[in-house]
Amino acid sequence: MKEYFKNRKNQISAAVFLITMVIACAPLISRYCVNGHDLDYHLLRIESLKEGIMLGKPFLKINVLFFGGAGYASSMFYPDFLLYIPALLRVIGVSINASYHIFVAVCIILCYLSVYYCVKKMTGSTFGALIASVTLTLCQYHLDDIYVRAAVGEYTAFIFIPFVIYAIYNAVYEEMDKPQLFVLGYAGILLCHTSSFVMCTLFGLAALIICFKKVFLNKKVFLRLICSTIVTLLITCFYWLPMLEQFINTVFYVSTPWMEPVDEAVRFVNLFGPAFPGLGSVCILILIPRIFIRKKFPKTANNKTGDQAYSQIKINIVGYADLLILAGILFTLLACDLMPWERLGRFISFIQFPWRFFIMGSCLFSVAAGLIYARVAGRDDEEGRNRLLSIDPDDGISSVNLGAVVLIVILLLNGVSAFNAYKSGITGYYDYSDDYYSYKPVTANVIAGEWLPEAVKEMGSLVDDSEKMIADNGSEIPFTRVKNTIEADIGESVNSVDVPFIYYLGYGAGITDGSGKKTALTVTGEGHNGMCRVYLNGNTGRLKVSYNGTVLMHISEIISLVTAVCVIVLFIRKRRSAASGKEGHE
């Protein structure tokens, strides 16, 4: 470690990282929880995951805490991939406020490191990687997502979008020799935020079609692309297959838009303004050096093979930066009122808020900036030094000053932008007690309740309904909740009972009579206000109703697990093979 920090480049990199983290995490330095538009819902998700873990059912698709115990399929439709971090912290006794703030800090760090890694690998330049990392981590929309909106799905997606951008570069310019980038990027985004996954898919398809000859006419790249897509689908099918199954069998609130995108489109004059929702101006301003960069380089007879190869990499970097800038402009414009959202809204109403396209604009512009500054600074030398981040007695002082000045200016610009976002966007703090969600009314904070079946006619009465089991003769039957199961003694012959679980495909029921004979029962969603209706057909005894999942759900889980194990084994073998080959070469 001491040897690492003897290098001036490493010292500067560490300092930039720490300064960026201090700026980005400043609002988290409080014993109270920073408020955000969707915070209540996401904290409820975390508490529900905690309850599931403590019940011994950590991957239960129906979250037992919602609506006073009636359950809500948040985990069925909204991936929980990274939310297990704060949920586990809650299990070990960390407070709601602290566990959420720790989680946010982890996500900010992972965002910084992911874009740093991707740009560094694309360009070989530490300088370019630092520019991209600072810009994306402190960009206005990223911070608004965290502190203004508390949009957990979106700000976790920021971690994986750089891998998608790198994966497309790898496919176009490097014959996709790192297919794991594609799998990591797209699988990670899908397991964080479905809308962001759709945006990244559109970007990837468009970029690959533009580079048609390099991808689809190259048999090796095309096959790797197909295989990577299949692996991504298989490794994530535990999430999307059960979700599709539910949509096929049930109509949900989300099928009826509760707001129109045209009403939320950003005015064009506000696109780059400092107030939410806006992209901000910093990630545009730092792209100005692109104007002065030549894409092509003159060929000379004295060029060595290595120099020619690096010149081609420079051309690729600038060309890809241009593609990212163009894509970023298009995504940014999609967020504004210049677009015909009256018509577009019919086809992509799932986006709800057009300013969600800023997530792509932010990432594309930030990575493009890293590529541009990498082209200016050049790649690190064989000893890992960068001429703009190293101090050598033989170096001219001007190059050192140039690198320092650029980093300081970009940090200042982003820092000022960040604190303006905090000042205008953060609405305050709230102290969530550890028993906050034991108060049943707050367990109904599900925003528009998009994942409720349309059979639920009165969302406001679900908490009250969660306390009643009603037989078809109108009598109320006492019951108990055990883990994710409702149990009741049925002593009289009735045809059916409405059990206080909101119905989703996968609920099962059985009754055990006095002799110990068990009988499987039919469960439907015909109960009052969308509750489960269990048909007893005159059976009496001990009734048990619980969510067991579907056959397809369990098959998809096995497929994903087997695929993940195979991918890990193949990756380890590939790394060992590469290491052995390197040792043999030496």
- 37 three-state secondary structure: coil
Cβ atoms 315, 199 nearer than 8 A: no
pLDDT digits (tens, 9 = 90+) for 307-317: 555 566 677 88
pLDDT digits (tens, 9 = 90+) for 177-191: 999 999 999 999 999
- pLDDT-based confidence at 339, cuts 50/70/90? confident
What pLDDT is stored for residue 236 in this prediction? 96
What pLDDT is stored for residue 395 in this prediction? 45
Give the burial class of 458: count Cβ atoms within 10 A of its Cβ; 0-12 exposed, 13-18 middle, 19 or more buried: exposed
The rounded distance, in Å, linking the Cα atoms of 96 and 93 is 9
The rounded distance, in Å, linking the Cα atoms of 301 and 306 is 13
Q: Is the pLDDT at 301 greater than 50, yes or no?
A: no
pLDDT digits (tens, 9 = 90+) for 475-526: 999 999 988 899 999 988 889 999 999 999 999 999 998 888 899 999 999 9
- pLDDT-based confidence at 264, cuts 50/70/90? confident
Out of 109-118, 157-166, 416-425, least confident range: 416-425
- 531 three-state secondary structure: strand
What pLDDT is stored for residue 397 in this prediction? 43
For the chain, percent of residues with pLDDT exceeding 90: 62
What pLDDT is stored for residue 168 in this prediction? 97
The rounded distance, in Å, linking the Cα atoms of 299 and 473 is 90
What pLDDT is stored for residue 274 in this prediction? 79
Q: Is the pLDDT at 561 greater than 90, yes or no?
A: yes
Cβ atoms 368, 391 nearer than 8 A: no
The rounded distance, in Å, linking the Cα atoms of 114 and 156 is 11
Q: Is the pLDDT at 400 greater than 80, yes or no?
A: no
What pLDDT is stored for residue 51 in this prediction? 93
Mean pLDDT of all residues in 393-400? 45
The rounded distance, in Å, linking the Cα atoms of 187 and 563 is 12
For the chain, percent of residues with pLDDT exceeding 70: 90
- 253 three-state secondary structure: helix
Out of 21-35, 309-323, 349-363, 490-504, least confident range: 309-323
- CA torsion sign for 269, 143, 127, 324 is negative
Closest by Cα among 118, 61, 394 to 243: 61
- pLDDT-based confidence at 163, cuts 50/70/90? very high
- pLDDT-based confidence at 443, cuts 50/70/90? very high
What pLDDT is stored for residue 389 in this prediction? 64
Distances (CA, A) of 287 to 273, 318, 389: 17, 12, 20
What pLDDT is stored for residue 498 in this prediction? 96
What pLDDT is stored for residue 385 in this prediction? 63
- pLDDT-based confidence at 209, cuts 50/70/90? very high
CATH of domain 461-549: 2.60.40
* pTM, 2 dp: 0.91
Mean pLDDT of all residues in 535-554? 93
Q: Is the pLDDT at 393 greater than 50, yes or no?
A: no
Q: Is the pLDDT at 167 greater than 80, yes or no?
A: yes
Q: Is the pLDDT at 302 greater than 50, yes or no?
A: no
Mean pLDDT of all residues in 122-130? 91
Structural domain boundaries of the chain? Answer: 2-297+306-427, 461-549
What pLDDT is stored for residue 275 in this prediction? 79
What pLDDT is stored for residue 203 in this prediction? 96
Higher confidence at residue 405 or residue 37?
37
What pLDDT is stored for residue 360 in this prediction? 95
Residue 212, token pair as written in the block: 């048609």
Distances (CA, A) of 497 to 273, 456, 476: 57, 17, 9
- pLDDT-based confidence at 571, cuts 50/70/90? confident
Residue 64, token pair as written in the block: 């037992």
Out of 64-68, 278-282, 452-456, 574-578, least confident range: 574-578
Cβ atoms 472, 497 nearer than 8 A: yes
What pLDDT is stored for residue 170 in this prediction? 95
What pLDDT is stored for residue 12 in this prediction? 84
Higher confidence at residue 374 or residue 368?
368
Mean pLDDT of all residues in 274-293? 85
What pLDDT is stored for residue 500 in this prediction? 96
